[in-house]
Amino acid sequence: MNLRTLTIILAAVTVVALCVCAVFVAVLLPQVIQRASPAIAPPAQNPTPRAQATAGPAPTRPAKNYTNDFPRHLLFALDTESATEIRQVSLVIQVDGIQTSSRYLPEFAPSKKVSLVYDFDLQKNYLPPGVMGDFWWVLKDADGKETTTAKERFRVDEPVIQWKKVQNSKIAIYWYSGEQNFGQAIFDRAVASLALLEKDTGVTVDRQVQIFIYGNRNDFLNALGPNVAGFEGGRTHPEYSVVLIDAGARELTYARDATTHEMTHVIMHAKISGALGEFTFPHWLDEGLAMYYETTPGPLGAQFSIPLKKAIDTDTLLSLRSMAGRFPIAQVDLGYAESYSAVEYFYRKYGREKMQQLLLAIKAGGDFDELLSKVTGLNTDQFENEWRKDVGAKPRAASTATPVTGKPTPFPTFSLSTDPTATPAK
């Protein structure tokens, strides 16, 4: 091989090498660089801005949002989250039969996700068994927007006691001690008494009265909440249409009487409920009506007839005015007996139409002396002396009348939610 040929060969090899390098730089090198570097997406020609959260909190339903732990607590649970921070949570409770709702502000740390349980302390805010209502939550986020959850139902009840029940649209009887005939007998008596009450007073029952018969004294006292005197045999909550009675299966007579007594309280207070009705209703008339429908058609029992006769014979009757409020603790039986006797006399003397007129006048409110005088022509002291004459007692020597002024002086309010029914004599 001569020198010229060798030179041509070397030139050709150099050209090939240069072509290979060019291909590597143009094709392979960008792929190597792309694999060795983070992926960077090319910018969009018309980028779309991220959507901003404008709605309020979006609550989610918790697995268990209400727990009944009567008589200690009611537990209301919330589990919710929001696109924006939740700053305020309100629990709203609306009890059936109560016109206004109650709002509670549980403590929590502001967050986009909130899980909390509000402890409604029944020892501070007592509610009896049978109370029902709605609850809901109001959530406020960092932007001030509010969201209200759907209303949910709740019921206060005994968590352990297994109630038996018999009812119609106006009355429900709950009991656990005794057979079916025990509860049925109480129910039948209540239905008959209600029919008489409606006929005499013109009252109509718009809301079912729930009556709970406790067969154990401790169960009953535990159900009364923090305000227990210790001698109660029954308690009425007219604002909730609920009655609690302490009566075992062997105390059918007392259970029937007490049920009728307390049911009358509920219905009477529904009858006279109004702006001033509660202020005008004297305690002796309230309890007298309850005793009347508890007793009718039978005679007054010995527990009450004996102290009444003794007071008549010894001229130690309580004045009706002194019983505008609660009865003296030491003379509770006499207070019930006198109240019954005075109401029984009113019905015999004036009839049920006059009683209806008096109850309607009480509902409107005003001074009871004036209302009684408009209906019967007598004030309280004059009516009392007429009644005392009828039962064979001496007239009251000194008048206890309060001078009538131009402005009515209503009687004090005494809520029946703490008024006891006397425990029957054993």
Mean pLDDT of 39-55: 34
Looking at residue 399, its pLDDT comes to 53
Looking at residue 397, its pLDDT comes to 75
- Between residues 176 and 36, which one has the greater pLDDT? 176
Looking at residue 126, its pLDDT comes to 96
- The yes-or-no verdict on residue 378 having pLDDT over 70 is yes
- The yes-or-no verdict on residue 421 having pLDDT over 80 is no
Looking at residue 117, its pLDDT comes to 95
Work out the pLDDT band at 58, boundaries 50, 70, 90: low
- The yes-or-no verdict on residue 232 having pLDDT over 60 is yes
Domains of the chain in sequence order: 58-155 (2.60.40.10), 164-422 (1.10.390.10)
3-class secondary structure per residue, the chain: CCHHHHHHHHHHHHHHHHHHHHHHHHHHHHHHHHHHCCCCCCCCCCCCCCCCCCCCCEEECCCCCEEEECCCEEEEEEEEEEEEEEEEEEEEEEECCCCCCEEECCCCCCEEEEEEEEEEECCCCCCCCCCEEEEEEEEEECCCCEEECCCEEEECCCCCCCCEEEECCCEEEEECCCCHHHHHHHHHHHHHHHHHHHHHHCCCCCCCEEEEEECCHHHHHHHCCCCCCCCEEEEEECCCCEEEEECCCCCHHHHHHHHHHHHHHHHHHHHHCCCCHHHHCCHHHHHHHHHHHHHCCCCCCHHHHHHHHHHHHCCCCCCCHHHCCCCCHHHHHHHHHHHHHHHHHHHHHHHHHHHHHHHHHHHHCCCHHHHHHHHHCCCHHHHHHHHHHHHCCCCCCCCCCCCCCCCCCCCCCCCHHHCEEECCCC
Mean pLDDT of 402-421: 34
- The pTM for the full model equals 0.74
Looking at residue 250, its pLDDT comes to 83
Average pLDDT, the chain: 82
By mean pLDDT, which of 87-96, 228-237, 365-374, 416-425 is the weakest?
Answer: 416-425
- The yes-or-no verdict on residue 358 having pLDDT over 60 is yes
pLDDT in tens, 186-215: 999 999 999 999 999 888 888 999 999 999
